[in-house]
Amino acid sequence: MRVTTQRHSREIEKMDTVHINHKPLLLNVAEKERLHTKQPQPFPHITPYMTRIAQLLFVILSIHASAQPMKPGDFGFRHIPFTFQGLHTDVLLLSKAGDESVAKPLFLFCQGSMPIPLLIHDGAVKYPTFPFDTRSLTEHYHLAIIGKPGIPLIADASELQENLAYLDTQSHLPPAQYSDNNYLDFYVVRNLAVLEHLSRERLADASAVVVAGHSEGARVAFEMTLRSTLITHLIYASGNPCGQIMSRIAQARQRETPADSLRFAEHEFRYYEAVVQDSSNTQILNADSFRSVYSFSRSSLDEFPRLTIPVFICYGTVDPATPFNDLLRAELIRKEKSNFTFQSYVGLDHNYFGMKETGEVDYDQYNWDHVAADWLAWLKSGAK
């Protein structure tokens, strides 16, 4: 489930360990807050989507391992093979049981970073693919999600890294197909091709096409919306309109003290100088290639006013990206844009968890379902 990785090289996150059926799982908890310091390499962060596991045990159904290889249908999904630029692409559709052939609008969810399979199991449990309860949304939409390039669609957790990343057993790095294509423009163009394909299916009601993204996926969803007339609604969750590098710098500033005020932020600036000088390099370093970081770090602040469709922007106020989203809101007010709805969640972090008085993430305060309910309420209200 994706959107992973965030710490030193992505947006800012931390890790926590929960146990499901006595099996430890590292949960990616937003760009900046991990309770445990143990961080597997080369990906020291983990997908925000997986943080849902701790809260949504009812979605993780205990099932005896089958003698046969698992298929998407075993997870409740329909699998739509797709080829893009000669590359195999996995597309999953989730519908309300019995409504698989009923025409409904499409709702595409763009996951964030990390080479993580969409469907994961450990033989006893199936891990959730979405970070929120999908039942209310599938009443009104067919939900779609697209796999990462070069990453298996289905995997046993025992075959993955501790943070659920899929790495080559010999190189201990993601497959070349992933590292070569893990950058913004690839995801935007590929996702639009998939969206156009799905929109031609009889099950798609073209009266509405919703694209939502969280964290890095928010930037992908935004760029898709700039380029497509198919999309009727955009949900931009926990993104940074000033770019990924600013999230890294903001996180570094939060760590600084008078004794080492230059060490963390200066390191990020110097790192970005190196990125810019070698921006086409696809070699994975600290979880991301220079090409990936460069592509996601360009500011999109000035491009938001170009959007004329309804846009829902949400974020937790403890997220380091908060000042940049507040700036975006102020700029849109100045430009008298009325098609944007902002929802800030006071006291919540990048993945909508609450915080303890100690400053640690409170995983008992899980709010992803509440956030998704706000999305649906906005959509049902007419989303102007």
pLDDT one-digit tens code per residue, 164-204: 999 988 888 999 999 999 999 999 999 999 999 999 988 99
Domain membership of residue 60 (yes or no) is no
Domain membership of residue 174 (yes or no) is yes
C-alpha torsion 7→10→15→21, nearest 10: -160
- CATH at residue 142: 3.40.50.1820
Cα–Cα distance, 211 to 378 (Å, whole number): 14
Domain membership of residue 185 (yes or no) is yes
Evaluate the CA torsion angle 160, 165, 168, 172 in order and state its sign. negative
- Does residue 361 contact residue 369 with C-beta atoms inside 8 Å? no
Q: Quote the pLDDT of residue 19.
A: 33
pLDDT one-digit tens code per residue, 248-257: 999 999 888 8
Mean pLDDT taken over the chain = 84
Domain membership of residue 30 (yes or no) is no
Domain membership of residue 113 (yes or no) is yes
Domain membership of residue 24 (yes or no) is no
Q: What DSSP designation does 280 have?
A: T
Domain membership of residue 20 (yes or no) is no
Cα–Cα distance, 102 to 35 (Å, whole number): 44
Domain region containing 111:
73-380
Q: What is the domain count for the chain?
A: 1
